[in-house]
Amino acid sequence: MANKRQLKKQIRYICGDIAAECALVKYLVEDINRDAMNEALIQIADLQQETLSRVNVTFDKLPKDFESLKAYNKAKTEFTNKAFASINAEFNKGIQEIFKKMDSALPQEKD
């Protein structure tokens, strides 16, 4: 990931798209479980808020804590990459749970 600003934009974009899809389906599909779709919308909002707050992670070391500026930059980059990977994994897990909630809200096919 390039930087925090880009990551935050992507999180907002993804959550916004999923929320719009959820709201659209909620009103256009007959016999849909609207309560479950409302819960999915709440989950989307919670996931976005939680994930955005986690993006603000900062490296807690100073350059003077390392033998060189190069070592500091390397450690900071590794920290950031690990933090963003963790955030991404948790975000994707949350998205999958929301999709399951949305799928469960759809009416069952009648034979």
- Per-residue pLDDT of 36-53, as tens digits, reads 999 999 999 999 999 999
Q: Which amino acid is residue 17, in one-letter code?
A: D
The answer to whether the beta carbons of residues 37 and 106 sit under 8 Å apart is no
CA 8/CA 68 separation, integer angstroms: 31
Give the mean pLDDT of 48-74: 93
- pLDDT tier for residue 111 given thresholds of 50, 70 and 90: low
- pTM listed for this prediction: 0.84
Domain ranges of the chain: 4-105
- Count Cα neighbours of 90 within 13 Å in the Cβ-side half-sphere: 16
User: What is the average pLDDT value for the chain, to the nearest integer?
Assistant: 92
Give the dihedral sign, CA 86/91/96/100.
positive
CA 57/CA 63 separation, integer angstroms: 17
Q: What pLDDT score was predicted for residue 109?
A: 72
